[in-house]
Amino acid sequence: MNGTHTDKQTKTKELTEEENVEILKLFTEVQKMQRQAVSLKEKLKSRMRVYKRQNRFLMRLKEVIEMKRNLLNQKRKKKSRILLSLQDKIREDTNGLVLAMPTRHTDDLKNFALSIYKYSPQAYIYIRNTLRTLLPSTDVLESWISGGFEPKNILSNSNLIKVVSELTDNELSCK
């Protein structure tokens, strides 16, 4: 009996030594995997920080792009409004406007224009602009004056037309 018992003890010692070697191998493999896990975890943290930083940068870029897009749209709308306004103004100004072409003015027109201009340049400008008449520009009048042309019938207090307002500014009567 002694012989079999010692054989069993030896076998258990061998098994335990084999198990110990196996356990040691497994333990070193576990340690190696743990180191890899820690390394991978650090890499993940680092890459997540990079990802978050890039994501924040991307969001800021998107905001800047959106802001610039809105600004461009506002500028485009403003330019469109200005263009439409100018087109309306040009349409308004060209309604009834005779394009300035070199013309020979009659002596009657010269007398009339210079008479009003000498009496009141502001009144002449008002009449020319408001009524859209074919009256010459003030530069032309100045050239006539400097050229020595004198109107024959200058307006005086005795022959002035008096404009009196009745009811509204739009309804005028002459006396």
Specify the pLDDT at position 105. 77
**65 lies in the same domain as 143:** no
Specify the pLDDT at position 174. 47
Asked if 164 and 173 count as a contact pair (C-beta separation under 8 A), the reply is yes
Specify the pLDDT at position 149. 78
Domain that holds residue 32: 1-95
- The DSSP bridge partners found for residue 172 are 165
| pTM for this entry | 0.36
**26 lies in the same domain as 89:** yes
Look at residues 48, 67, 95 and tell me which one is the last residue of a structural domain: 95
**161 lies in the same domain as 86:** no
What is the dihedral angle through the alpha carbons of 13, 15, 18, 20, rounded to the nearest 10 degrees?
A: -70
**10 lies in the same domain as 76:** yes
Number of domains in the chain: 2
Question: Considering Cα of 126, then 129, then 133, then 136, what sign does the dihedral take?
Answer: positive
Rounded Cα gap, residues 108 and 117, in angstroms: 14
Domain membership of residue 3 (yes or no) is yes
Rounded Cα gap, residues 107 and 136, in angstroms: 13
Domain membership of residue 33 (yes or no) is yes
Domain membership of residue 62 (yes or no) is yes
Specify the pLDDT at position 8. 65
Specify the pLDDT at position 150. 78
Q: Which residues of the chain fall below pLDDT 50? A: 163-167, 171-175
**75 lies in the same domain as 9:** yes
**25 lies in the same domain as 71:** yes
Domain membership of residue 101 (yes or no) is no
**8 lies in the same domain as 90:** yes
Domain membership of residue 164 (yes or no) is yes
